[in-house]
């Protein structure tokens, strides 16, 4: 069977599975719709959280980014896993005991203020939309390469599937579908990695393989060979990277704190029955995420060595274009790879200096990796299904946060407090349907700045939600004046810095012009510090939080008596 | 208040904070310490084919993160039980009481 038939079969089978699960786990109440009835097993919840968290960016782009960034890629690896330590230790158990559906609900109730609630709703909706547009785009790319439909059709198919199970099943449908999607995506990620690890180093475990000797009998370590190749070709040494230490520090911190402040991740900890399950669930989630995140740098290394070797040839003089492997022409047709014969010798050559003749998009590394390594067709089909699973699971989680924020926090708690549970459920479904259409539109007509906006989303979450939640738990006296002033100053500072360097004056976006050498990707960390300082200062000069709120805070600090997450 | 006394509530919270801060210090040390600030120094040491600083940044810190959460879950469960604020046996006890009433044991 050829690759395309196999891909249709495997992707089709996974879609059938997701739909079957959605029908089986239909939501009957807002309680089901928002928090899956609050009865999800911590292991299943961990898997669902992992699938929710690992987006098309993690699955498709991350290993490619690392492959091109070398050591600097560690900012993503540490940033997107370290946040779970913060979640497990500082947020998840307390928010679970607090027992509400959403992050805006916590902010609104803890700071006894509808202004704070509305600020939180706006942040949550904005953060989620920026994310979801990127996911839909990911679905489109996978469809266009492997199923040879155009990107628009791909996005519409993706929208239809998500629409079906998110609108029907709510959190309950999403959670159980995500468990299935996790299994698909992790297999799709690990199988080619294991294959390639065995081929290149003889080790079954890729995490060990990429630090081992090559099995070509030369006795050189893989990473040493790559360091050598990189410097020969005019790139920075792979294991050293090029970013300044302070920038690596700030970007890592912004991603970690941003992770811990992202509403679609936090909401997952409301779906488990007990406080101790919330703690445990964060551990399971990190275990499932770590499986992919520790494999990614291995894939990055394998793919880079393989790619350089196939393009430049064994003698490092370039291979002739006529004999180019099929993956190059396959990907050329998507426009993500291109060759320009600068010296007219008819040979392709890849390097980091003026000899370079190749333009290679970083996003193709994971998807093209099995083809580059000549793996069997079913592995390539599996990777396609995995990429789609990653994009769909994250979109669904994000759409749910958008619809919950609107139907519950904005309508039920602010604008129309008298609607019934049934009406609220209808509004929630309508809101997610509208959100899917907007997301699909953004996926088909992506704003030119999707990649930049991701940094924006993390910066916003880090500089707004995280300090407000931490202070709300760990300082009984923190009042609404402090929290609102902190959120607004943190978010404004971060947003202005990013908007200036990314949109108003992109030409000035160089290390010389950055404050303290911190890039816009890392500025959320400074925004977070500013938020903490402003909030503490303002709270010192205004009256303490009222007595009943202080009692509420005392009450969320221990597990006993945690009821199910509730609306009221 | 589920604690026996105000004193118990304070002690529980202090022990919780101490555990949390200890683990966060380790969290910071492996990721920002070994993986970022000291990476050049550690790269002088080799772990098989890995330079140690590079390994911490791309592998080791993630394993330590995982271990930290496991330790936290375990220790917090112990602490909850010590101060009798755990959730574990609430339902079974009620269930047993109901059984006793029913069957007059």
User: pLDDT tens digits, residue range A459-474?
Assistant: 888 898 899 999 999 9
Let me know if residue A18 belongs to a domain.
yes
A537 versus A266: which is more confidently predicted?
A: A537
A349, A372, A395 - which closes a domain? A372
Domain that holds residue B46: 6-103
Nearest CA in chain A to B2: A560
| Closest partner CB to B85 (pick from A90, A240, A559) | A559
Q: Do A84 and B27 touch (CB under 8 A)?
A: no
B86 to chain A: which residues are within 8 Å by CB? 276, 559-560
Q: Mark whether A507 and A481 lie in a shared domain.
A: yes
Tell me if B75 is assigned to some domain: yes
Greater confidence (A414 vs A526) lies with A526
Q: Are residues A24 and A38 both part of a single domain?
A: yes
Judge: B68–A252 Cβ closer than 8 Å, yes or no.
no
In a domain, A561, yes or no: no
Express each pLDDT in A314-353 by its tens digit.
Answer: 777 788 887 778 888 877 877 778 888 888 787 888 887 7
Instruction: Determine which of A31-35, A122-126, A252-256, A383-387 has the lowest per-residue pLDDT on average.
Output: A31-35
Query: Is pLDDT at A126 greater than 90 in this prediction?
Result: no
User: CB distance B49–A77 less than 8 Å?
Assistant: no
In this structure, of A194-198, A217-221, A515-519, the range with the lowest mean pLDDT score is A217-221
Contact A465, A103 (CB under 8 A): yes
- The pLDDT value given to residue B25: 95
**A389 with A347, same domain?**
no
Say whether pLDDT at A165 is over 80. Answer: no
List CB contacts of A298: < 8 A, sequence separation 6 or more. Answer: A193, A197, A206, A207, A209, A210
Q: Does residue A245 fall inside a structural domain?
A: yes
Residue among B7, B18, B34, B65 with most chain A CBs within 10 A, to mutate: B65
Inter-chain touch A211–B47, beta carbons under 8 Å: yes
Same domain, A549 and A400: yes
User: For B51, which DSSP code?
Assistant: E
For residues A205 and A257, membership in a common domain is answered with yes
Helix residue ranges per DSSP H, A233-350: 245-261, 263-266, 275-312, 326-332
Chain B residues close to A560, C-beta within 8 Å: 2, 80, 84-87, 90
CA-based nearest distance A457→chain B, Å:
22
- 8 Å CB contact between A97 and A84: no
Distances (CA, A) of A41 to A172, A243, A396, A457, B91: 12, 42, 20, 30, 17
Count, residues in chain B? 105
Task: Specify if B1 maps to a domain.
Answer: no
- Quick one: A89 and A153 in the same domain? yes
**Residue A567 located in a structural domain:** no
Lowest-confidence region among A116-125, A201-210, A449-458: A449-458
pLDDT for A154? 78
- Is residue B72 included in any domain, yes or no? yes
Asked whether residue A562 is assigned to any structural domain, the reply reads: no
Q: Is residue B16 part of a domain?
A: yes
Considering the domain architecture, whether residues A406 and A328 belong to the same structural domain is answered as no
Distance CA(B13)–CA(B16), nearest Å, equals 5
Cβ–Cβ of A240/B43 closer than 8 Å? yes
**A140 pLDDT more than 80:** no
Nearest to A35 by CA among A418, A428, A390, A469: A428
Does residue A547 or residue A410 have the better pLDDT? A547
Residue A125 within a domain: yes
pLDDT of residue A527: 93
Domain count, chain A: 2
- pTM of the predicted model, to two decimals? 0.86
DSSP A139-154: HHHHHHHHT---HHHH
- pLDDT < 50 stretches in chain B: 90-100, 102-105
Instruction: Say how far apart CA A325 and CA A304 lie, in whole Å.
Output: 16
Verify whether the Cβ–Cβ distance A249 to B80 is below 8 Å.
no
Please give the average per-residue pLDDT across A213-221, as a whole number.
Answer: 80
Digit-coded pLDDT (tens) for B90-99: 444 444 444 4
The closest CB to that of A211, out of B20, B50, B57, belongs to: B50
Q: Higher-confidence residue: A6 or A450?
A: A6
CB contact under 8 A, A276 and B57: no
Task: Give residue B102's pLDDT.
Answer: 45
Q: What are residue A360's phi and psi, to 5 degrees?
A: -125, 120
Does A36 share its domain with A96? yes
Q: Do B72 and A88 touch (CB under 8 A)?
A: yes
Q: A214: nearest CA in chain B?
A: B49
Domain count, chain B: 1
CA distance A439 to A368: 27
Contact list in A for residue B49 (CB cut-off 8 A) is 210-213, 221-224
Q: Which of B58, B82, B94 is best to mutate for the A interface (most A CBs within 10 A)?
A: B58
- How much of chain A exceeds pLDDT 90, in percent? 12
pLDDT at A20: 85
Domain holding A103, by residue range, is 3-309+373-556
Give the percent of chain A with pLDDT over 70. Answer: 93
Domain presence at residue A379: yes
Same-domain pairing of A182 and A324: no
Q: How far apart are CA A398 and CA A432, in angstroms?
A: 10
Residue A119 to residue A117: CA distance in whole angstroms = 6
Taking CB atoms and an 8 Å limit, are A207 and B39 in contact across chains? no
pLDDT value of residue B103: 45
Inspect the interface and report whether the beta carbons of A74 and B57 lie closer than 8 Å.
yes
How many CB atoms are closer than 10 A to CB B95? 11
Query: Residue A249: which of B32, B51, B90 has the nearest Cβ?
Result: B32
């Amino acid at each position: 069977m050829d690759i395309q038939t196999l891909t249709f079969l495997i992707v089709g089978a996974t879609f059938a599975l997701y739909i079957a699960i959605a029908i089986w786990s239909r939501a009957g109440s807002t309680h089901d719709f928002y928090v899956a009835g609050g009865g999800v097993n911590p292991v299943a919840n961990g898997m669902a959280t992992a699938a929710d968290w690992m987006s098309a960016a993690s699955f498709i782009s991350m290993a490619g980014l690392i492959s091109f960034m070398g050591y600097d890629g560690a900012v993503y690896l540490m940033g997107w896993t370290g946040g779970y330590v913060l979640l497990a230790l500082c947020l998840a158990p307390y928010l679970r005991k607090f027992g509400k559906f959403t992050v805006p609900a916590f902010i609104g109730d803890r700071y006894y203020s509808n202004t704070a609630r509305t600020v939180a709703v706006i942040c949550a909706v904005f953060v989620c939309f920026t994310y979801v547009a990127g996911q839909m785009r990911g679905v489109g790319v996978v469809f266009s390469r492997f199923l040879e439909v155009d990107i628009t059709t791909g996005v519409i198919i993706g929208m239809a599937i998500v629409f079906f199970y998110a609108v029907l099943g709510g959190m309950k449908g999403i959670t159980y579908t995500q468990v299935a999607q996790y299994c698909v995506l992790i297999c799709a990620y690990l199988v080619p990695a294991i294959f390639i690890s065995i081929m290149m180093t003889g080790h079954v475990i890729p995490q060990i393989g990429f630090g081992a000797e090559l099995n070509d009998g030369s006795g050189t370590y893989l990473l040493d060979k790559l360091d050598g190749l990189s410097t020969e070709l005019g790139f920075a040494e792979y294991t050293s990277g090029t970013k300044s230490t302070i920038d690596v520090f700030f970007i890592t911190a912004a991603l970690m704190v941003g992770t811990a402040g992202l509403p679609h991740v936090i909401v997952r900890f409301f779906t488990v029955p007990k406080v101790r399950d919330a703690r445990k669930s964060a551990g399971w989630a990190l275990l499932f995420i770590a499986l992919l995140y520790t494999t990614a740098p291995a894939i990055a290394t394998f793919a880079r060595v393989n790619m350089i070797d196939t393009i430049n040839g064994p003698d490092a003089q370039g291979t002739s274009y006529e004999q180019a492997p099929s993956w190059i022409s396959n990907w050329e047709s998507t426009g993500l790879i291109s060759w320009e014969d600068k010296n007219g010798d008819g040979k392709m050559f890849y390097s980091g200096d003026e000899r370079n003749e190749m333009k290679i998009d970083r996003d193709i590394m994971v998807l093209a990796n099995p083809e580059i390594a000549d793996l069997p067709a079913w592995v390539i089909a599996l990777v396609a299904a995995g990429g789609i699973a990653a994009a769909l699971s994250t979109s669904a989680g994000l759409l749910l946060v958008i619809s919950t924020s609107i139907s519950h926090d904005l309508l039920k708690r602010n604008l129309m407090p008298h609607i019934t549970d049934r009406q609220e459920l209808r509004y929630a479904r309508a809101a997610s349907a509208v959100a899917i259409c907007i997301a699909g539109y953004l996926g088909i007509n992506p704003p030119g700045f999707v990649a930049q906006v991701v940094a924006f989303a993390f910066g916003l979450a880090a500089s707004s939600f995280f300090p407000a939640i931490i202070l709300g738990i760990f300082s009984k006296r923190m009042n609404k004046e402090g929290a609102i002033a902190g959120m607004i100053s943190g978010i404004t500072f971060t947003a202005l810095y990013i908007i200036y360097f990314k949109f108003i004056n992109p030409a000035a976006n160089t290390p010389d012009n950055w404050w303290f050498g911190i890039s816009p990707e890392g500025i959320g960390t400074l925004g977070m510090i500013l938020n903490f300082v402003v909030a503490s200062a303002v709270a010192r000069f205004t009256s303490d939080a009222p007595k009943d709120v202080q009692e509420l805070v005392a009450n969320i600090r221990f597990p006993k008596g945690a009821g199910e997450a509730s609306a009221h | 208040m589920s604690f026996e006394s105000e004193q118990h509530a304070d002690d529980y919270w202090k022990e919780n904070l101490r555990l949390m801060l200890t683990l966060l210090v380790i969290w910071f040390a492996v990721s920002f310490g070994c993986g970022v600030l000291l990476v050049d120094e550690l790269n002088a040491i080799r772990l098989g084919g890995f330079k140690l600083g590079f390994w911490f940044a791309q592998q080791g810190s993630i394993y330590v993160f995982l271990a930290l959460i496991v330790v936290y879950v375990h220790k917090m469960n112990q602490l909850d039980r010590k101060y009798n604020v755990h959730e574990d046996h609430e339902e079974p006890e009620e269930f047993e009481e109901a059984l006793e009433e029913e069957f007059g044991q």
